[in-house]
Amino acid sequence: MAKETPIINIFTYGLPYKLANQIYKEYESRLREAVFIITESKRYEILKDSMKTVELLLALSIFDKRVISNLQAGVKFYSTVSSYSESETIQIGAYKLTGDEKNKLLGVIINYNNILDNYGLSNGLTNYSVTKDFLLYLVNLKKAEYYG
């Protein structure tokens, strides 16, 4: 029987080692904290039966904060610079960001946001600084699902 691949490995596959390692370490740290909070706090115990979902959404939220938000920043940066200077290519070191690449990045961002919308996930998924806020978002999401 094949061993199940951890979801964080799927999210970080193909990323540069330094970024993937950073994401993996944050995921491991926050997951340990989340498990502790869920098992020790009555407020979050509703999530005990949904640990796989917590793991998945935690990995997704960290990927969003570390990868997708940077792609969004790159698109916004390109749009701002090109509107002021009317240039078609922005050179950052040896890398050249063109309008076509900006459009590809924008396409990825739009598709990603559509996926989130299809599953009823909002910016609350990634709008947290402490793990408790992330878990509170999941508790509210679960209650909303339960009540209709």
Give pLDDT tens digits for 84-109.
887 888 888 888 889 999 999 999 99
What pLDDT does residue 5 have? Answer: 82
Contact call for residues 62 and 31 (beta carbons, < 8 A): no
Classify strands 89-92 and 95-98 as parallel, antiparallel or unpaired. Answer: antiparallel
11 lies in some domain: no
105 lies in some domain: yes
75 lies in some domain: yes
39 lies in some domain: yes
What confidence category does residue 1 fall into, taking pLDDT thresholds of 50, 70 and 90? low
Contact call for residues 125 and 57 (beta carbons, < 8 A): yes
116 lies in some domain: yes
What confidence category does residue 6 fall into, taking pLDDT thresholds of 50, 70 and 90? confident
Q: Domain containing 60: what range?
A: 24-147
What pLDDT does residue 91 have? Answer: 85
What confidence category does residue 70 fall into, taking pLDDT thresholds of 50, 70 and 90? very high
The Cα–Cα gap between 129 and 10 comes to 23
What pLDDT does residue 24 have? Answer: 96
79 lies in some domain: yes
13 lies in some domain: no
Domains identified in the chain, total number: 1
12 lies in some domain: no
User: Mapped to the 3 state alphabet, what secondary structure does 38-91 carry?
Assistant: HHHCHHHHHHHHHHHHHHHHHHHHHHHHHHHHHHHHHHHHHHHHHHHHCCCEEE
Region of 93 please: left (phi>0), alpha (psi -120 to 50) or beta. left
What pLDDT does residue 147 have? Answer: 58
The Cα–Cα gap between 28 and 26 comes to 6
**pLDDT above 80 for 69:** yes
Task: Map residue 23 onto helix, strand or coil.
Answer: helix
Give which of 76, 81, 80, 126 is closest to 106, Cα–Cα: 76
